[in-house]
Structure 1
Amino acid sequence: MVYDKASDVVRMEITPATPLLSPSPGQYYFLYQPFRLTGWESHPFTIGAWSYELGDKPLSSPTSAGNLNDSLDVSHVPLLAGGPAEADYQRNWTSDQARKSDPLKLKMIFWVRPYDGWTRKLRQQCLRSPDSTTETTVLLEGPYGDTFPLWRYESVLIIVGGTGIASAVPYIQDHLRRSDEGWEENPENEKTRVRDIELVWTTKQAAFIHDVSRRELKPALERSDFSASFYATRDSSAYEDLNNCGYEIQEGRPHLQSLIMSRACDASSADSSLAILVCGPVGMADEARAATHLAMRQGHRSIKFVEESFTW
């Protein structure tokens, strides 16, 4: 666990004890921390991203040119270890980077916003260390939730707030994976139909945007079929430094009605389908839902509205 004071987020990287987990977009888990007086206390968290390691080394993934990157791009890694997709993937590795005797090790990433109770104690555990980093044992219950087939729509708009970015990143990475040339080698894989995907993310701290953009969102930000609009409601003094990183962070909140109406008009003009995925505060979800309803009333019918909300 690492606590970043600038973004006010605890980044949890969990290595499951079981190799049977197969993460997918739309999934969430309940996390427990044992050996506490309130050990029964659990919280639902969306899995924000995942990666694989071979033994103790991070997996390298081939680029379209057949070379190898220094870091793992999860968009090229099979979700289910041990299946035919993994066998095809292993044949592309160089002999010194992959040994069939070493199992794939899954690493799951969660973003936790500390509030009261257990999440605040997680932050305190991190702050006891000089580098705000600590290790602990947690229990995973899940996965829960279903994967919505965003890949079946020509245009995708993802609107998220705060740590709701956790619901967006897996779908974005899934799009990258399905866009890869080798994805269709397995006849069971469905190729993406998405022509353009747009992310609109509003959060309090600009530093949180910067951290995720240089990690999980970096491969998508380098593509022509992906665009992102970032908004921060605090830390205006940080905008100048972070805006030199190749993307712009705007102050305040987006006007969702104008945004959704514009995307609905574009989809109608192109005679294409539009999927709108929303995950964030209640007010944001309500505004997006009302704007989508207005667009459909005005004749833009090829719209699918999907709201991610996690409860028992």
Structure 2
Amino acid sequence: MYDKEADVVRLEVAPASIRLRPEAGQYYFLYQPFRLTGWESHPFTVGAWSYELGPFKGPSAKLLGKSNGSLDISQVPLLYGDDGIQGSLEEASDTNSSPALKLIFWIRPYDGWTRQLRHQCLKSPTRATDARILLEGPYGGTFPLWRYEFVLMIVGGTGIAFAVPYIQDHLLRSAEDWSSQSPEKEKTQIQDIELIWSGRQAAFFRDVAYGELKPALGREEFRASFYSTATAEAPPEDLAAIGCKIKSGRPELLSLILQRARDATNAGASLAIVVCGPVGMAREARAATHFAMRQGYQSIKYVEESFTW
């Protein structure tokens, strides 16, 4: 589906394999076969995932994220076995069939295949289309963000796809029954997590804030600030009502990183700085982190994800 205001294609892919285990930090190569322009492959970070379930009954109905049967993964642990998801997901479904996994990618259309994908969507009155997509992956690994007390996430545009799975992973690991349902996985140590997201299309902010980010907004340990860089577009005021700070212009990364480093040091806590954005943003964040460490703030881990595939 193509959102013209956000200028983003939301691609939802239902993998054929029930053994696929999506995790934060992973990316896939996407292929669309049977195109006249030939065989193209494009790597994209998986931004989120959900599970399509059968009808619910009883107390397990609270696990539903949407009325259409889509399960909000921030509400349940992701436990897999050879036959699909185990634990509370098995208990949630009133059928014996495995829930169907759906991977979500946010794609900015530029040229080549991404532009053609937008064109395919625009030919439909609903700006949505069905297409066969082949997956190769997953590639990449998960950084143990849950081992740090303070987290600062700095992303630009569709770089939000890198941040959302880690935020959702934090929600899972902070659940009260996480240890009993997932004894092999560590409980989160995160006490404070801040998201800084800059981009041109405010509509993209709204879509993700009211969608994949909504379970995190309003939580005591989570804060989000959105920076609208489009001078002709006023930031959406309605996002402030759900716990997002909306600002115009670009974030001052040096002051933000220094403040978070100072807060973490005063609290005797470790700090992880996660960055996924354009080259200029990453360069500025890297330099600011280096400056902060030279000022004596040593308990900092800098993690940067490529944005230029």
TM-score, structure 2 normalization: 0.91
The partner residue of 1:189 within 185, 189, 194 is 185
Give the aligned residue type for 1:274.
Answer: L
- Counterpart of 1:221 in 2: which secondary structure? coil
Tell me what 1:7 maps to: 6
**Are the structure 2 counterparts of residues 211 and 257 from structure 1 closer, same or farther at C-alpha, using a change threshold of 3 Å?**
same
Residue in 1 that maps onto 2:78? 79
Distance 1:76 1:137 in 2: 30
Deviations 1:62-107 (A, max 9, x none): 79xx9454533212334343379943314653xxx422x2111000
Name the residue aligned to 2:165.
170
Go from structure 1 to structure 2 and tell me whether the alpha carbon gap of 1:17 and 1:302 turns closer, same or farther (over 3 Å shift): same
For 1:229 and 1:92, the matched residues in 2 are separated by: 37
Q: Determine if contact 2:65/2:72 at 8 Å carries over to the other structure.
A: no
SS in 2 for 1:229: strand
Query: In structure 1, how many angstroms separate the alpha carbons of the residues matched to 2:75 and 2:197?
Result: 25
Q: CA 1:168/1:240 → structure 2, altered by over 3 Å: closer, same or farther?
A: closer
Q: 1:115 aligns with which of 102, 110, 119?
A: 110
Residue of 224, 227, 231 corresponding to 1:231: 227
Q: Distance in 1 between matches of 2:308 and 2:229?
A: 27
Amino acid at match of 2:287: A
- Whether 1:102 aligns to 2:97 is yes
Aligned letter for 1:168?
A: A
Instruction: Assess, with a 3 A threshold, how the Cα gap between structure 1 residues 18 and 302 changes in structure 2: closer, same or farther.
Output: same
> How far apart, CA to CA, are the structure 1 residues paired with 2:57 and 2:282?
38
1:208 is matched with which residue?
A: 204
- Which residue in the other structure is 1:43 paired with? 42
Structure 2 gap segments, 5+ residues each: none
Q: Is the 8 A contact 1:278 1:288 kept in 2?
A: yes
**Aligned sequence identity (%):** 62
Q: Give distance in 1, aligned partners of 2:236 and 2:26.
A: 35
1:128-178 deviation digits (Å, cap 9, x = unpaired): 001101110011011110100000000000000000000000000000000
> Residue type of the partner of 2:281?
M
Deviation at 1:27, TM superposition (A): 0.2
Mapped partners of 2:133, 2:83: distance in 1: 31
Please provide the CA RMSD for this pair: 2.3
Instruction: Measure, in 1, the Cα distance between the counterparts of 2:278 and 2:57.
Output: 36
Contact 2:278-2:308 within 8 A present in 1 as well? no
What is the deviation of 1:281? Answer: 0.3
What secondary structure, in the 3-state scheme, does the structure 2 residue paired with 1:38 have?
coil
Contact 1:51 1:106 in 2 (8 A): yes
Quick one: structure 1 residues 70 and 39, their matched pair in 2 at CA, closer, same or farther if it must change by over 3 Å? Answer: same
**Using the alignment, how far apart are the partners of 1:60 and 1:250 within structure 2?**
43
Q: Which residue in 1 is equivalent to 2:281?
A: 284
Residues of 2 paired with 1:219 and 1:70: CA distance? 10
Q: 2:135 corresponds to which residue?
A: 140
The match for 1:309 is 306
Structure 2 counterparts to residues 44-59 of structure 1, below 5 A: 44-55=43-54
1:206–1:232 CA contact under 8 A, matched in 2: yes
Once residues 61 and 74 of structure 1 are traced to their aligned partners in structure 2, the CA distance between those partners, rounded to angstroms, is 19
Between 286-295 and 71-80, report the one with greater CA deviation: 71-80
Distance 1:226 1:126 in 2: 35
Secondary structure of the equivalent of 2:216? Answer: helix
Q: 1:239 to 1:146 in 2, by over 3 A?
A: same
Residues 88 and 45 (structure 1 numbering): CA distance in 2 closer, same or farther, change over 3 Å?
same
Q: 1:140–1:11: structure 2 CA closer, same or farther, 3 Å change rule? A: same
How does the TM-score come out when normalised to structure 1? 0.90
Residue 221 in structure 1 maps to residue 220 in structure 2: no
SS at match of 1:19: coil
